[in-house]
């Protein structure tokens, strides 16, 4: 009795497997079918949208090919290890939509098969597996075409680009290219501009008078403003620079008072005073 039961189990499994395939075929027969030439004729006036549909179709075919390879490897693994195959795909009566959203599809997981009888450990035959894979491939192909056409119908016709927009786009591209690859000449000029401006050297006038005296300060009937001082490193003597108090009115006269080691002072005058510089009356009341 036990031998008879074991012999009839594969037959019942094959019958249930074929019933599932027929149910999937009946469900997919109701879905609309689209041929490639029909899609091209319908969207030939919209080249961008047609390009998007064909690109999506190519990507979908690549994904199906990878899934078919994974499914074949999985079936080979089950055949070699004598383990039961995973559950079949759920029938189309369990869902109202013919295709799930693309963003929720798990590409790494193979499509499950409906579970066979729990009392058997024999894997299904190869002819049923191949027929089911072919049917599943055709079904997903038609479903993908339906989804792409539905997506295409939601897009509005593309308006031809205006020449002004093209010109603006080209101008922006040129600006990006120039900013990404600056010319060496521009960098050279930028380096020169970054250098701090050099201090303009004052014009040196010829010496007009030299005075040697022991008086400090030396009174020469003019008013002066201190313009700085320096100390010589070799001798340690100090030099004081003066400019005429009428320098803001245009007088260029300046003098240098240098102290000597013998206690005398050497005064050098440069330039000529204005006529109004000597009109100041000096009164010394001691």
Beta bridge partners of 53: none
Q: What is the pLDDT of residue 285?
A: 60
Task: State the alpha helices, DSSP H only, in the chain.
Answer: 2-29, 36-43, 47-81, 126-154, 163-180, 184-194
Distance, CA of 120 to CA of 221 (rounded, Å): 131
Distance, CA of 5 to CA of 24 (rounded, Å): 29
Owner of token pair 């031809």: 160
Beta bridge partners of 209: 269
Establish whether the linkage from the previous residue to 208 is cis, with ω within 30° of 0.
Answer: no
Residues 6+ apart with CB under 8 A from 148: 39, 53, 56, 57
Question: What is the separation of C-alpha 207 from the centre of its chain, rounded to a whole number of angstroms?
Answer: 67
Q: What is the pLDDT of residue 282?
A: 60
Each of the 286 residues of the chain gets a pLDDT tens digit; together they read: 434 333 334 434 444 445 555 554 554 445 455 677 787 888 888 888 888 888 988 899 999 999 999 999 988 888 888 765 555 444 444 444 445 445 444 444 444 444 444 444 444 444 445 555 565 656 666 666 666 666 555 544 444 445 455 555 555 555 545 555 555 555 555 555 566 677 666 667 777 888 888 888 777 788 888 888 888 888 888 888 898 888 888 888 888 888 888 888 888 888 888 877 876 666 566 5
Classify residue 132 as exposed, middle or buried by CB count within 10 Å of its CB (0-12, 13-18, 19+). buried
Residues 6+ apart with CB under 8 A from 32: 142, 146
Distance, CA of 107 to CA of 63 (rounded, Å): 8
Assign a CATH topology to domain 207-270.
N-terminal domain of TfIIb (2.20.25)
Is 78 in contact with 87 (CB distance < 8 Å)? no
Q: What is the pLDDT of residue 31?
A: 46
Q: Pick from 268, 272, 269, 270: which is nearest to 251 by CA? A: 272
Q: What is the pTM of this model?
A: 0.29
- In the chain, where are the structural domains located? 2-154, 207-270
Q: What is the pLDDT of residue 65?
A: 94
């Amino acid at each position: 009795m036990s031998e008879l039961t074991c012999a009839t189990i594969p037959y019942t499994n094959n019958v249930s497997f074929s019933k599932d395939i027929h149910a999937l075929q009946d469900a997919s027969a109701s879905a609309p079918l689209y041929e490639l030439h029909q899609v091209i004729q319908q969207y030939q006036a919209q080249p961008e949208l047609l390009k998007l549909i064909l690109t999506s179709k190519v990507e979908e075919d690549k994904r199906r090919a990878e899934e078919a390879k994974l499914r074949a490897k999985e079936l080979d693994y089950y055949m070699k290890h004598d383990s039961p195959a995973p559950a079949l795909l759920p029938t189309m009566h369990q869902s109202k939509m013919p295709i799930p959203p693309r963003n929720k599809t798990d590409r790494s997981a193979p499509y499950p098969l409906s579970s066979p009888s729990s009392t058997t450990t024999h894997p299904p035959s190869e002819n049923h597996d191949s027929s089911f894979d072919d049917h599943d491939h055709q079904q997903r192909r038609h479903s993908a075409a339906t989804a792409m056409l539905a997506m295409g119908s939601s897009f509005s016709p593309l308006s031809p680009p205006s020449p002004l927009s093209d010109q603006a786009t080209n101008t922006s591209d040129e600006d990006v290219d120039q900013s990404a690859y600056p010319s060496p000449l521009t960098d050279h000029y930028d380096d020169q501009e970054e250098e701090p401006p050099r201090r303009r050297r004052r014009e040196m006038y010829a010496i007009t008078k030299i005075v040697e005296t022991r008086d400090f300060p030396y009174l020469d009937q003019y008013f002066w403003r201190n313009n700085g001082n320096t100390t010589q490193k070799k001798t340690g003597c100090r030099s004081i620079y003066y400019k005429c108090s009428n320098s803001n009115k245009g007088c260029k006269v300046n003098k240098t008072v240098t102290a000597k080691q013998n206690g005398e002072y050497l005064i050098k005058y440069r330039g000529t005073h204005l006529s109004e510089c000597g009109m100041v009356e000096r009164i010394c009341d001691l």
